[in-house]
Amino acid sequence: MTASLSSADHLAKYYGLHGKTCLVTGGTLGIGRAVVEEFAILGARVFTCARKADALESLLSDCKAKGWSVEGITADVATPEGRESVMKAASAALGGRIDVLVNNVGTNIRKSTLDYTPADFERMIAVNLESAFALSQAVHPFMKAAGGGVIIMISSVAGGPVAMKSGAVYGLTKASLNQIVMNFACEWASDGIRAISVAPWYTDTPLVENLLGDKELLQQILSRTPLGRVAQPEEVARVVAFAASPAASYITGQTLRVDGGYSAMGLY
């Protein structure tokens, strides 16, 4: 216990991110943007990336106006060249130190299994899975040199434990992320590195706004959600921030479901 700390000091020490350097991929929209903002509010130095230069410029301008330490680069982390550019720029911007990596980029191509093409499959693997695996490899030396760090995957409850109508390929990429953190947690624990997957249910983001506009589907979603609503991006971001904070220092290899009770609901 740290009874000698004031409440404010206790919150800052265990739940804040002051002095931490964080790399967040896909930080201009939805959950990614909410994570960037939450980290910045909590005192972290943040570096992010996006494929669209105008979206990135808008984010950086907003963050600068609020006095937050956020920088970024335009790049596609689904490609080796894009990942190389991000790592080089992030290292320079963050002083050669990366304490937290949030693998947030993701996409979906919603089709029945028999309709997927090889190109569909390759694209989703590259965006959702390969980018996260390769960037985790890339940040390992930084974290090991610093005595530790945290790798966080933005997964989905589509990755299990039950099936969802989000497509087989999307589900397999998210299930893979949930498995990867268990392997990383065991393999890299001796390097002081924790690995956690955060798995949201339907969240009000641009990725699913067209789906949430379907009143019949929305009613189906809400009927399977004990809390009776979809998540807001900041609700997911707060869990990500907790996972990155010292308060979660004994959590690793886990999938934290942010789903309003969806995964707990059977025939009830």
* pLDDT tens column, 167-183: 999 999 999 999 999 99
Q: What pLDDT sits at residue 200? A: 97
Q: Is 15 a catalytic residue?
A: no
75 and 82 Cβ atoms separated by less than 8 Å:
yes
Q: What is the mean pLDDT of residues 24-32?
A: 97
CATH of 15-257, one of 1.10.3720.10, 3.40.190.90, 3.40.50.720, 3.30.360.10: 3.40.50.720
The residue ranges of every structural domain in the chain are 15-257
CA-to-CA distance for 94 and 154, rounded, in angstroms?
22
Percent of the chain with pLDDT over 70: 99
Q: What is the mean pLDDT of residues 132-152?
A: 98
Q: What is the mean pLDDT of residues 97-116?
A: 96
Which of 14, 15, 116, 170 is catalytic? The answer is 170
- Tokens, residue 214: 């379907």
Indicate whether 102 pLDDT > 70.
Answer: yes
Q: What is the mean pLDDT of residues 212-222?
A: 95
How many Cβ atoms sit within 10 Å of the Cβ of residue 149? 26
How many Cβ atoms sit within 10 Å of the Cβ of residue 226? 12
Q: Tokens 């005192």 identify what position?
A: 43
Q: How confident is the model at residue 1 (pLDDT cuts 50, 70, 90)?
A: very low
Burial class (CB in 10 A: 0-12, 13-18, 19+), 242: middle
What mean pLDDT is reported for the chain?
Answer: 96
Indicate whether 2 pLDDT > 70.
Answer: no
Adjacency order of strands within the sheet including 254-258? 70-74, 45-50, 21-25, 100-103, 149-154, 193-200, 254-258
Q: Among positive and negative, which fits the CA dihedral 152, 153, 156, 160?
A: negative
